[in-house]
Amino acid sequence: MPYHRPIPGRKDSDTVGGLHMFAEAEKLMHIAFVMPSAVFIGWLLGAWAGSKLHQGRMMIAGILLGCVSGLVYVIRMAFAAEKDAARADEANAEEEKREKGGESAGGGTDTFKS
């Protein structure tokens, strides 16, 4: 049976059972549910406030408030995802640097002992 060398830079812990891909997909699907939910909740609150205050335009204000709050949340989530990706890239680069440094420096130190 031939020996297949592993692909460099690929970790088995990142792809265990495909759970990592499902977690990433869940983050993206979460964005798709946040905006409509925020608008719907804003519409409900605006309709309730409009009925209590006898103002017909409160529903429009609630919808706009829901849009703004949903958009702010999505932008914050995008910045957090960008930071997580940057941290993962730094960790991968550091690990590759450590692996390359360990191979070249480890061979010659054991031969000379004083």
Average confidence score pLDDT of the chain = 79
Judge if pTM exceeds 0.85.
Answer: no
Asked if residues 27 and 7 have their Cβ atoms less than 8 Å apart, the reply is no
**For 48-74, what is the mean pLDDT?**
92
Confidence class for position 95, pLDDT limits 50, 70, 90: confident
pLDDT cut 90: percent of the chain above it? 30
**For 22-44, what is the mean pLDDT?**
86
Residue 69, token pair as written in the block: 């709050």
- Whether the pLDDT of residue 86 is over 60: the answer is yes
